[in-house]
Structure 1
Amino acid sequence: MTYDIKDVPREIIIVEGRDDTKRLIETFGPQVKTIETGGSALSRKVQAEIKALAADYEFIILTDPDYQGQRLRNLLSQLVPQAKHAFIEPELARSTQRKASLGVEHATPETIRQALAEVMTPSSQEQMEWIPLHQLVQLGLIGHPQANLRRQLIAKELHLGYVNGKQLQKRLAQYQIRLEQIQAILEKEE
């Protein structure tokens, strides 16, 4: 198989394991650079490796769309706050053989390419503008019978990954997404 070198991400992609790296190599070829955390843990050795590379490289965090993947993403975000984020929807990361298995290694190359094409860059803590919770409640994104469904619609449209109410508020601030953008998405769906 031939790969187009211009399609290979320049950043180092932080993934959970060997199978994720294998899937990225299948997608982009052997030129793709990854760091494996060794699962949902983040050892001191891996932390040191990431910190050492942070001066010269940019990172994209691509973890599994599950609780452990989100936990790891949060740890990595603290370690390298400037890292970009790519998200894969849970339904696009399921194993066809084992229904309970969910991960980057199960995503198709097209899904991975799409996730990396829609990478999100977080703002610094000082730049973050928070949408007040009461406005998210008014929009039916929190405390509404359909809140989870509405949040996932917003998250999918904006490529934020799975979010609960508090995570939604934080991710909207991290990626400088404005209230007007959310309102437009919700109006389009009604």
Structure 2
Amino acid sequence: MKIKEVIVVEGRDDTAAIKRAVNADTIETGGSAIHTRTIEKIRLAQKKRGVIIFTDPDYQGERIRKIISRQVPGCKHAFITQEDGTKKGDIGVENASDEVIIRALSEVRTEMAETAGEITADDMLENGLTSGPDSKERRIKLGEALGIGYANAKQMLQRLNAFQINRDEFEAAIKAIDKERE
């Protein structure tokens, strides 16, 4: 599988895992202290070929994703779950199987700067995604179902709208989560 866009990852081990699974070029951030030159490389890649941000499913990975998204608008995003990226207690893209990496790259989402906000905070509350005993677990399942990763309630709402998840997609995912509980 050949990927046209340049994939932004955190480090060498992530690059090795990506190249093992697909034919793609990568840019490594070298961690969350992203150098200005790295941001410039990512901007150029976005302009010429497009960029897919594919960071680890942990706090640092989400921090890197946010930094790049703010500075380089219009990037695509690939996500894996913590479960799919964990091996011997270590979480990262480098631990994901080829199949998981390929699936994540085939389900990329593009973040839009201006969003209409189809999903609201009331929708989140009504569907048990905020301030409930199992709201975190429901957000984890929602992020997995929609391929947008885990986020806290505020970030999940922002992500739902930034990735233009429509009401039908949202409701179908909620129904699947509810059906799973039965």
Q: Which of 81, 95, 100 matches 1:89?
A: 81
Amino acid at match of 1:102: I
Higher Cα Rg: structure 1 or 2?
Answer: 1
Q: Which runs of 5+ in 1 are unaligned?
A: 1-6
1:49 equivalent in structure 2? 41
Q: Which runs of 5+ in 2 are unaligned?
A: none
1:128 to partner: Cα distance: 3.5
Is 1:15 the equivalent of 2:9? yes
1:164 equivalent in structure 2? 152
Q: Does structure 1 retain, via aligned residues, the 8 Å contact 2:118–2:167?
A: no
Q: Give the alignment's TM-score, normalised by structure 1.
A: 0.88
1:130 to partner: Cα distance: 4.8
1:103 equivalent in structure 2? 92
Q: Which of 82, 98, 110 matches 1:121?
A: 110
2:70 equivalent in structure 1? 78
Aligned pairs, number? 178
Residues 114-144 of structure 1, C-alpha deviations (whole Å, 9 max, x = no match) = 000110112232x332522122111111011
Query: Once superposed, which parts of structure 1, at least 4 consecutive aligned residues long, lie more than 6 Å away?
Result: none
Residues 67-93 of structure 1, C-alpha deviations (whole Å, 9 max, x = no match) = 000000000101211110000100011
SS at match of 1:167: helix
1:183 to partner: Cα distance: 2.4
Is 1:24 the equivalent of 2:18? yes
1:3 equivalent in structure 2? none
Moved more, 68-77 or 176-185: 176-185
| Distance in 2 of aligned mates of 1:81 and 1:134 | 28
SS at match of 2:133: coil
Q: Which of 153, 170, 186 matches 2:141?
A: 153
Moved more, 145-154 or 63-72: 145-154
What is the alpha-carbon root mean square deviation over aligned residues?
Answer: 1.4
- In structure 2, do the counterparts of structure 1 residues 137 and 103 end up closer, same or farther at CA, with 3 Å as the change threshold? same
| Distance in 2 of aligned mates of 1:171 and 1:129 | 10
Q: Does structure 2 retain, via aligned residues, the 8 Å contact 1:130–1:169?
A: no
Identity %: 37
Q: Give the alignment's TM-score, normalised by structure 2.
A: 0.91
| Distance in 2 of aligned mates of 1:76 and 1:130 | 25
More strand by share: 2
Is 1:181 the equivalent of 2:158? no
SS at match of 2:7: strand
Amino acid at match of 1:27: A
| Distance in 1 of aligned mates of 2:51 and 2:124 | 31
